[in-house]
Structure 1
Amino acid sequence: MTQWNEPYLETCCRSALHRLTLVGRHGRPDGLKDGPCLARLRGMGLARQREDGRYEATADGLARHAREVMRRRA
Structure 2
Amino acid sequence: MTNWNQPYLETCCRAALHRLTLVGAGGRPDGLKDGPCLARLQGMGLARLRADERYELTPAGLDRHASEILHRKKAG
TM-score bracket for the superposition, by shorter chain length: over 0.9
Partners of 2:72 and 2:66 in 1: CA distance: 5
- Contact 2:2–2:68 (8 Å) recurs in 1: no
Secondary structure of the residue that 1:64 maps to in structure 2?
A: helix
Specify every segment of 5 or more residues in structure 1 that has no aligned partner in the other structure, as ranges. none
Secondary structure of the residue that 1:56 maps to in structure 2?
A: strand
Aligned residues: 74
Is 1:11 the counterpart of 2:11? The answer is yes
> What amino acid is aligned across from residue 64 of structure 1 in structure 2?
R
1:11-43 CA-to-partner distances (Å, cap 9, x unmatched) read 000000000001010000001000000000000
Partners of 1:2 and 1:51 in 2: CA distance: 31
Offset of residue 2 of structure 1? 6.2
Secondary structure of the residue that 1:52 maps to in structure 2?
A: coil
Name the TM-score, length of structure 1 as normaliser.
Answer: 0.95
**How large is the RMSD of aligned CA atoms in angstroms?**
1.3
Change (3 A) 1:36 1:66: same
Moved over 3 A (4+): none
Q: Which has the higher contact order (CA 8 A, sep 6+)?
A: 2
